[in-house]
A and B are shown apart, each in its own frame.
Chain A
């Protein structure tokens, strides 16, 4: 195939650089999930034509729509539908050590209605993911998809699969609700019980602070807004005070906004801490200990600017590489980081920080 050179060292002079990609989207056709659904739900797909609610008013005006144009299958299936192509275009091409699957269908970003069906659908999706992806490719790690609108059901699903050795994360897609609300406590408690990361991912149903602007380019520019909201919500509602071992990965929101949120949160905590007395430490310390930020869609900047952000965050352990394969705004592991960063920082971002966050075994 025609693409960038395979095994190109990301760190010059080194044999190769280990890579952990924390955002890779596998995709199921709804029909593929039917055999995994409880019988009472099957005909809602096979006979009644249920489709996930899609709130994004735009089509994605790119060469391939949601996907990279070259990631779609010749038979018309969307990107992420075929493990062989994922191997060709990502795992083998870039010599990825571990790719964390982040899925396609997550009920947390759908409407709150009909929670029983959507919770059941998440169970079916998870079983499909295990059989069709995790059991077929050892370089993949999995995410337990749950319906956050049904926290008790989400907790049951986490308990059902939490001991699976290849599941490393509980997956929440962002709709229009801040996840720090105590309503969601059962699912955070379940994730903490199983020592799983909570992955919080942007979705087509994530709004901007002002709803939906006129153009897709505006919406895509503003993806970071909902991550600011989720970070602030988790911290100020004491999620990490209740679960001191919990780690959260913010996925598909970039990271250049993090110093801004740290500074503003600390300022508000000093001034208004009487309103949130359950928050015992300054928010930036909580963020540095518990929250990680995936790179994609990375803000393109110089090495000097990048290092400035690392300095402002006061930690080089917060940023995790992600590609978002197979979507149109895919970031190549060879091009995402600006040239000129220190080797040790590159190694941390490309793999070390993710290994520590997800407690992945060291590469052999």
Chain B
């Protein structure tokens, strides 16, 4: 899809400087709730803002490193190679870049298209 075609369907989320690295904000594409995330490396990501589990708005959750398996009881090592979004209710963890749950890569949130243009953050299906 060309940038022009994307712009035709785009919904403006906010000004670029209103979404700082490490932050997220809710948005909507018509009736579809979305969460737009800017990671610390500056990259933008957007997911459907509804947890696969009980439908919680994920924008009320927490961004941070993922959890990964370790080999010993009491060995907790956050996985900084994964940027995770943790559900505000039961704590389901999603990989922000793929939308997949960390406990089962086969369960995935729909990703939406997000980009910046002329100082705005834009969103499309």
List chain A positions with a Cβ less than 8 A from chain B: 1-4, 62-64, 68-70, 214, 328-332, 334-336
| Interfacial chain A residues near B35, Cβ < 8 Å | 2
**In the complex, are the beta carbons of B90 and A329 less than 8 A apart?**
yes
A4-B50, A4-B55 are known contacts. Are A68 and B33 too (CB-CB below 8 A)? no
Of B54, B59, B60, B73, the contact of A331 (CB 8 Å cutoff): B54
Chain B residues with CB under 8 A of A328: 89-91
Q: With contacts A62-B90, A69-B88 known, what are 8 further pairs, Cβ within 8 A?
A: A2-B35, A3-B50, A3-B57, A328-B89, A329-B90, A330-B90, A335-B53, A336-B54
Interface presence of B87 (CB below 8 A): yes
Query: 5 A–B contact pairs at CB < 8 A?
Result: A2-B26, A3-B57, A63-B61, A329-B90, A335-B54
A335 touches B55 (CB 8 A): yes
Which residues 18-69 in B have Cβ within 8 Å of A in the complex? 26, 28, 33, 35, 49-50, 53-57, 59-62
Whether B28 pairs with A69 at a CB distance below 8 angstroms is no
What residues on B are CB-neighbors of A64 within 8 Å? 88
Partner of B57, one of A2, A62, A336: A2
Cα distance A336–B54 in the bound complex, in angstroms: 7
Looking at the assembled complex, report how far the CB atom of B56 sits from the nearest CB atom of chain A, in whole angstroms.
7
Report the separation of the CA atoms of residues A351 and B7 in the bound assembly, to the nearest whole angstrom: 47
Q: Which residues of B contact A3 (CB under 8 A)?
A: 33, 50, 55-57
Interfacial chain A residues near B26, Cβ < 8 Å:
2
Q: A2-B26, A2-B28, A69-B60 are in contact. Are A332 and B54 (CB under 8 A)?
A: yes
Bound-complex Cα distance A70 to B57 (A): 8
CB A334 to nearest CB in B, in angstroms, measures 6
From A2, A328, A331, A336, residue with most partner B Cβ within 10 Å:
A2
Given A2-B28, A69-B62, CB of A62 within 8 Å of CB of B91: yes
Give bound CA distance, A335 to B87, whole Å: 15
| Chain A residue at minimum C-beta to C-beta distance from B60 | A70
Cβ distance B1 to chain A, nearest Cβ, rounded Å: 26
Min distance, Cβ A196 to any Cβ of chain B, angstroms: 31
Other-chain contact of A70, B56, B86, B90 (Cβ < 8 Å): B56
Among A1, A68, A332, A335, which residue has its beta carbon within 8 angstroms of that of B88?
A: A68
- Residue numbers in B under 8 Å from A4 (CB-CB): 50, 55
| Nearest A residue (CB) for B61 | A63
Report B85 CB to chain A, min CB distance, Å. 10
Docked-complex contact A63 and B91, CB < 8 angstroms? yes
Q: Of B50, B54, B55, B62, which is within 8 A of A63 by CB?
A: B62
B87: chain A residues within 8 A (beta carbon)? 63
Residue of B whose beta carbon sits closest to that of A70: B60
Smallest CB–CB gap between A130 and chain B, Å? 30
How near does chain A come to B87, taking the closest CB pair, in angstroms?
7
